[in-house]
């Protein structure tokens, strides 16, 4: 889980990403906490990262952006 939590923290530390999707950067610290978030974008981000498996065809960042854009 620590690797996934680190991925989440990396996304939440990106101010441009957080402002674009209305995600408060101080929202959560772990995947478990953010999956139950009131913010749909934050919950979606946590679920995407949690389900992410090593798929080298598309970078994780691009996968997240594509999925968030589809859902919002």
Question: How many residues in the chain?
Answer: 72
> What tens digit of pLDDT does each residue of 12-46 get?
888 888 888 888 767 777 888 888 888 888 888 88
Contacts of 25 (CB under 8 A, 6+ apart): 12, 13, 15, 18
Q: How many domains does the chain have?
A: 1
- What's residue 53's pLDDT? 57
Measure Cα distances from 16 to 23, 39, 54, 70 in Å.
10, 17, 25, 19
- What's residue 1's pLDDT? 61
Paired tokens of 71: 């859902």
Residue 31 sits in which domain range? 2-71
pTM of the model: 0.69
């Amino acid at each position: 889980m620590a690797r996934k939590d680190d991925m989440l923290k990396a996304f939440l530390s990106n101010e441009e990403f957080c402002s674009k999707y209305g995600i408060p950067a101080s929202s959560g610290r772990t995947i478990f906490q953010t999956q139950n978030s009131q913010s749909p974008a934050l919950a979606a981000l946590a679920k995407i990262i949690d389900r992410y498996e090593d798929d080298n065809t598309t970078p994780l960042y691009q996968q997240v952006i594509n999925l968030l854009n589809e859902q919002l």
